[in-house]
Amino acid sequence: MVADIPESAIGERFLAGSGPGGQNVNKVATTCQLRVDIYALGLAPDAFRRLKALAGSKLTTGGELVITARRYRTQEANRADARARLDDLVEAALVRPERRIKTRPTKAAKARRVDAKKARSAVKAGRGRVQGD
């Protein structure tokens, strides 16, 4: 784990898997569901906001982040997958985005744009009805 996530903030449940798989799916609860209390993570306010935005529908109204892993056939592999996805999510929330620097178009660029508009306008103006004398 790259991010320091306290074990007390994480709850784990194993559910019966869904979809094809025969007896293994019917008998073994391999799907791992992680529930993480995001308030217990101790994130900075800006990182907390980014985590909420990144989590989207995985976040409950009670402040729990729910991650379900069912990619693999074993509990251990699904547990590792769920924790890796949690790490990736928290790590992405900790990255501060670079500030955008406003730029202005140059005078030459503005002139080129206006010239292109005039040329296009002339082409379209020439498409009108032909008047016979």
The DSSP code for 127 is: T
Rounded mean pLDDT, 104-119? 97
Considering only CA atoms, give the Rg of the chain.
Answer: 28
C-beta of residue 32 within 8 angstroms of C-beta of residue 76: no
C-beta of residue 66 within 8 angstroms of C-beta of residue 42: no
Mean of all residue pLDDT scores within the chain: 84
How many H-runs (helices) and E-runs (strands) does the chain carry? 4, 3
The candidate with the shortest Cα–Cα distance to 29, out of 66, 85, 83, 70, is: 70
pTM, rounded to two decimals: 0.65
pLDDT at residue 120 is higher than 70:
yes
Query: In this predicted structure, what is the pLDDT of residue 20?
Result: 63
3-state helix, strand, coil in the chain (%, to 5): 50, 15, 35
Cα–Cα distance measured from residue 93 to residue 108, given in angstroms and rounded to the nearest whole number: 41
pLDDT at residue 2 is higher than 60:
no
**Residue 105 banded pLDDT, cuts 50, 70, 90:** very high
- Domains of the chain, each with CATH number or no CATH: 7-94 (3.30.160.20)
